[in-house]
Amino acid sequence: MASSRKPVLTKKDYLNSILRSYVLQNAQNYGTMQGTGMANSIMPQLRKIYKDDEAEFKRVTTSNLEFYNTNPQPYPFVTSIMLAMYDSGQDENDVRAIKFALMGPLAGIGDALSQFGLAPLFSSIFASLALQGMTWAPIPFILCLFGITFGVRMLMGYLGWKVGTSIIDTLSDRMAAIADVASMLGLTVIAGLSVSFVKVNLAWQYTQVIKGKTQVVAIQTILDKIMPYMLPIALTYFVYWLITKKKWTIYKIVILLFVAGVLLSVLGILK
Amino acid sequence: MTYSIVQALLVGLWAAFCFAGQQWGIYTNRALFISFGIGLILGDLQTAVVFGATAELAFMGFGVGPGGSTPPNPLGPGVVGTIMAISISGLKPAAALSLSYPFAILIPFVITFIFSVNANNLAWSRKAIEEGKYRRFHFLANTTLLGFIIFAFCFGFAATLSTSALKVFVQAIPQWLISGLTVAGGLLPAVGFALIMSTMVKKEYIPALILGYVCVAYLKMPVIGLAFAGAVLAFNNYYNGRRADKKDHGTNGNDDGSNENEGGIEDGI
């Protein structure tokens, strides 16, 4: 399939978008996490792609404000792919599917690398050097961490550009099917993460006497035996229902959850 | 021991820069690095870095990362603990660490507060872009960072001028409110997940949702394993879907026939 438009982005634009990955979390919030940051990070590139069509530019930019949450280090991989796809006029739904499919895996890889790999490694090396009297140890500590993660960003941005452009050349007719695969993969990860991220724990417990021994039984333990993470799922579905059926705004929901959290905690229902 | 206003300003600026680095993902928000700068400003690098290293090891697993969960933050001990270690002579690094730990717990509440206040950012940003007010959008796109910088500056400034007052403040927050906010912090991620699902979920994706749940709830899979499991389902769907398509194009979707065919090939192998 021929691309429906002639790419206008140069390598310099991609480099710029990689450097702009540092603004990803500058508007982090509980509504959309990195959503605003994502739109902001690719805005100059989108402006270049849609420079003749202000309305289209606004539409695509606002569509990228939606929820996003990944690790900022491998993040340029996503933006490079997305920009390559936008730039060649790929279907926006496909771009979106790819974007969300990459979110979970990249967060996993990024966290494993930056939080549980690099940081503890250099922490333990340079903290022990500092304890041995090397007072300037913090300098190589930060240089190593910053340098390596900067390299990761550059490399991921480059790989994303490679993949993005090759997908367009060879696989564009199969994009819909690939996007479907990506959506499914993405939703699996999102569903799994939602189970472990959302925390709803009942504080209720009762005591019972079995053969003269008193036992404290927590209701939460019983619920977990019936079906683990039952309440987080119920809560997520409740919020989903509020959004889709009741058309509640995020702010309203956040306030509701805040009040509910404090109230239920004070009443001794949740802990 | 008291410090000058200039020193307090410098500590505030340093804390603001370090804390902003948490959002940029550049690791300046590590206790070891925070202590280093404060040691330079307050004139006792040796003590500062030894304390910083102690706190760094205590906070090794924490730091730069995605949102959602907000663990105790090294900014608290990094700033307050270092000042304590330097200003109170004879105080051991470990003691300074535990004395300053309440501040590590205070920071996540501030982060939660900033993230929550900013939760409606989507609506504001959308409005700004649609109206073509790009300056306004760029301001909105940096609001959390601004909140972090302002908070950390005030925190560093105040901590330098009066360590004891800050400690009193933390102790003044009633326990019921702290536990209530902790519970609310656990509920809030539901919003983000529900939002994304509200735009992505179609009927044919329900198996993916169930698979994701089973992998985490029953199999306790880490996120990469989860992605592989999702890939299995997705590719299975992809190839079987293609086969189904082919069948539709054939004369009659004869299930038995195609199954026999496959069986035959497998037997052959």
Interface test with B, best of A21, A61, A184, A200 (most B CBs within 10 A): A184
User: If contacts are CB pairs under 8 Å, which of residues 202-241 in chain B contact chain A?
Assistant: 205, 208-213, 215-218, 221-224, 226-227, 229-231, 233-235, 237-238, 241
Q: Give the C-alpha distances (Å, rounded to integers) separating B225 from A74, A125, A198, B215.
A: 18, 30, 20, 8
Residue A227, token pair as written in the block: 């079906």
> Which residue in B15, B16, B88, B5 sits closest to B47, CA to CA?
B88
| HSE-CB of B122 using CA atoms within 13 angstroms | 20
pTM: 0.70
Q: Is residue B267 scored above 60 in pLDDT?
A: no
Q: What is the pLDDT of residue B71?
A: 67
Q: Is residue B260 scored above 50 in pLDDT?
A: no
Of A61, A137, A237, the CB nearest to B129: A61
Of B27, B180, B188, the CB nearest to A145: B27
Q: What is the pLDDT of residue A132?
A: 82
Residue A266, token pair as written in the block: 């004070």
B203-232 pLDDT per residue, tens: 888 898 999 899 988 998 876 788 789 889
Domain that holds residue B119: 5-189
Q: Which of A235-244, B30-39, B176-185 has the least mean pLDDT?
A: B176-185
Classify residue B127: in a domain, yes or no: yes
User: Which residue carries 């959002």 as its tokens?
Assistant: B23
CA pair distance A50, A30, nearest whole angstrom:
30
Q: What is the pLDDT of residue B171?
A: 64
Q: What is the pLDDT of residue B246?
A: 55
B53:A130 CB<8 A: yes
User: If contacts are CB pairs under 8 Å, which of residues 27-46 in chain A contact chain B?
Assistant: 27-37, 39-40
ipTM above 0.95, yes or no: no
B47-65 pLDDT per residue, tens: 999 999 888 877 765 543 3
A137:B119 CB<8 A: no
SS3 of chain B? CCCCHHHHHHHHHHHHHHHHHHHHCCCCCCHHHHHHHHHHHHCCHHHHHHHHHHHHHHCCCCCCCCCCCCCCCCHHHHHHHHHHHHHCCCCCHHHHHHHHHHHHHHHHHHHHHHHHHHHHHHHHHHHHHHCCCHHHHHHHCCHHHHHHHHHHHHHHHHHHHCHHHHHHHHHHCCHHHHHHHHHHHHHCHHHHHHHHHHHHCCHHHHHHHHHHHHHHHCCCCCHHHHHHHHHHHHHHHHHHHHHHHHHHHCCCCCHHHHHHHHHHHHHHC
Contact by Cβ (8 Å): A91, A29: no
Sort strands A213-218 and A205-210 into parallel, antiparallel or unpaired: antiparallel
Classify residue B264: in a domain, yes or no: no
Percent pLDDT > 90 in chain B is 35
User: If contacts are CB pairs under 8 Å, which of residues 69-88 in chain B contact chain A?
Assistant: 69
A184:B185 CB<8 A: no
Alpha-carbon gap: B31 to the closest alpha carbon of chain A (Å): 10
Contact by Cβ (8 Å): A187, A101: no
Alpha-carbon gap: A259 to the closest alpha carbon of chain B (Å): 8
Residues B250, B169 within the same domain: no
Residues B140, B225 within the same domain: no
Q: What is the pLDDT of residue B251?
A: 42
Residues B185, B221 within the same domain: no
Residues B132, B60 within the same domain: yes
Classify residue B24: in a domain, yes or no: yes
CA pair distance A105, A186, nearest whole angstrom:
8
3-state secondary structure of B95: helix
Residue B202, token pair as written in the block: 């179609």
Residue A191, token pair as written in the block: 């569903």
Q: Is residue B110 scored above 70 in pLDDT?
A: yes
Q: What is the mean pLDDT of each run of 10 residues along chain A (271 residues)?
A: 72 95 93 92 94 92 91 92 91 88 79 70 80 90 93 92 72 60 78 78 80 80 87 91 84 81 87 80
Alpha-carbon gap: A213 to the closest alpha carbon of chain B (Å): 31
> Which residue in A102, A94, A82 sits closest to A180, CA to CA?
A94
Confidence of residue B73 (pLDDT cuts 50, 70, 90): confident
* Contact with chain A for residue B246, Cβ under 8 A: no
Residues B159, B52 within the same domain: yes
Alpha-carbon gap: A179 to the closest alpha carbon of chain B (Å): 10
Q: Which of B189, B214, B239 is the last residue of a domain?
A: B189
Residues B74, B143 within the same domain: yes
A261:B181 CB<8 A: yes
Total of domains in chain B: 2
Q: Is residue B263 scored above 50 in pLDDT?
A: no
CA nearest to A119 within chain B:
B60
DSSP string, A234-259: HHHHHHHHHHHTS---HHHHHHHHHH
Q: Measured in whole angstroms, how far is the alpha carbon of residue B95 from the centre of its chain?
A: 28
Q: What is the pLDDT of residue B89?
A: 73
A24 vs B contacts (CB less than 8 Å): 25
> Which residue in B162, B151, B12, B141 sits closest to B73, CA to CA?
B151
Residues B121, B224 within the same domain: no
CA pair distance A224, B129, nearest whole angstrom:
45
3-state secondary structure of B220: coil
3-state secondary structure of B62: coil
> Which residue in B43, B41, B13 sits closest to B28, CA to CA?
B13
B248 vs A50: which has the higher pLDDT: A50
User: If contacts are CB pairs under 8 Å, which of residues 187-226 in chain A contact chain B?
Assistant: 187-201
Confidence of residue B3 (pLDDT cuts 50, 70, 90): confident
Q: What is the pLDDT of residue B69?
A: 47
* Contact with chain B for residue A177, Cβ under 8 A: yes
DSSP string, A36-92: HHHHHHTHHHHHHHTTT-HHHHHHHHHHTTS-B---TTTTHHHHHHHHHHHHTT--H
Residues B236, B160 within the same domain: no
